[in-house]
Amino acid sequence: MKMIPQAAAYKKRNESAERMRKQERDVQPPPLNPARRANVIEIEKLRADADEKRWLQSAARVSDG
């Protein structure tokens, strides 16, 4: 396993931020193809809808009780 230097070891003010941005780019997943992207969007819409319904049901229970 590769050792990662401590943040304090960087002398320049922006060196830590630059290294962080580089590592973030390295770990980003590959771009989604259009079909997969559409599926991910649909899943997120369904998740948001389910969360909203769950929230509304809990709010109704609180106001009834």
Q: Alpha-carbon Rg of the chain, whole angstroms? A: 22
Domain boundaries, position 53: 33-65
Residue 45 covered by a domain:
yes
Dihedral of CA atoms 3, 6, 9, 12 in degrees, nearest 10, equals: 110
Residue 49 covered by a domain:
yes
What is the full DSSP assignment across 10-39? --STTHHHHHHHHHHHHHSPPPPPHHHHHH
Number of domain units in the chain: 1
Of residues 61 and 34, more confidence is placed in 34
Kindly give, in sequence order, each residue whose CB lies less than 8 Å from that of residue 10, ignoring residues fewer than 6 positions away. Answer: 16, 19
Give per-residue pLDDT as tens, 8-57.
Answer: 555 676 777 788 788 888 887 778 899 989 998 999 999 999 999 989 88
